[in-house]
């Protein structure tokens, strides 16, 4: 009987350890729904280039998480990426809000930053944010810099 009780305790300890490991993995993977608790509205925005933006990336305003990226699609008619965001209904944004793809630090994760406008009319569920700014891709910037330096060297 002692052996059976010991086996039961070892099994419970292993199961608890596995559950704790899964919890930590979910936290590190940023799977939590922080910023979207409660009622949400769906907003859409089109971008020329989304860089490394991923589904579940944060949507921030003034540095505060107000939502998450829900889906990313390619629009074959406009050749643009359409990003669908779930934003907390507790944070209403004006119709002339600007959505930008920003990076945390120099090489950090990308997120969508919302800069509120001054319009008195607010965005509603299903609305599209018309004013957007695409991601600044580091590789493109370096390529442009090198191309400009090569062009300067060739003209001298």
List of E strands, 5-109: 40-47, 58-61, 64-75, 80-88, 98-103
Burial of 76 (0-12, 13-18, 19+ CB in 10 A): exposed
62-100 tens-digit pLDDT: 999 999 999 999 999 999 999 999 999 999 999 999 999
Higher pLDDT, 144 or 99: 99
DSSP 85: E
End-to-end CA distance of the chain: 91
Quick one: average pLDDT of 133-152?
A: 74
Tally Cβ neighbours within 10 Å of residue 58: 21
**Phi and psi angles of residue 155, each rounded to the nearest 5 degrees, phi first:** -90, -10
Q: What is the pLDDT of residue 67?
A: 95
User: Is the CA virtual torsion 125, 126, 131, 137 positive or negative?
Assistant: positive
Query: How would residue 144 be classed by pLDDT, with cut points 50, 70 and 90?
Result: confident
* Predicted structure pTM score: 0.68
Mean pLDDT of the chain: 86
pLDDT over 60 at 156, yes or no: no
56-67 tens-digit pLDDT: 999 999 999 999
Rounded Cα–Cα distance for residues 83 and 111 (Å) = 11
Q: What is the pLDDT of residue 147?
A: 75
Q: Which helix (H) or strand (E) holds 110?
A: strand 110-115
11-23 tens-digit pLDDT: 999 999 999 999 8
Diameter over CA atoms, the chain: 91
Rounded Cα–Cα distance for residues 76 and 59 (Å) = 25
pLDDT over 80 at 32, yes or no: no
Rounded Cα–Cα distance for residues 104 and 121 (Å) = 30
Helix %, strand %, coil % of the chain (to 5): 30, 35, 40
pLDDT over 60 at 31, yes or no: no
């Amino acid at each position: 009987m002692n052996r059976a009780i010991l086996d039961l305790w070892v099994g419970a300890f292993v199961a608890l350890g596995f559950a704790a490991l899964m919890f930590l993995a979910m936290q590190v993977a940023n799977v939590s729904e922080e910023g979207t608790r409660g009622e949400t509205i769906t907003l859409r925005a089109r971008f020329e280039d989304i860089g490394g933006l991923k589904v579940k990336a944060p949507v921030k305003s003034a540095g505060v998480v107000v939502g998450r990226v829900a889906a990313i699609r390619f629009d074959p008619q406009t050749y643009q990426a359409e990003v669908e965001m779930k934003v907390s209904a507790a944070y209403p944004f004006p119709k002339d809000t600007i959505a930008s793809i920003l990076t945390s630090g120099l090489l950090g994760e990308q997120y969508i930053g919302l800069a509120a406008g001054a319009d008195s009319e607010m965005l509603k569920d299903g609305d599209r944010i018309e004013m957007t700014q695409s991601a600044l891709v580091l590789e493109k910037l370096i390529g442009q810099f090198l191309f400009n330096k090569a062009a300067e060297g060739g003209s001298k």
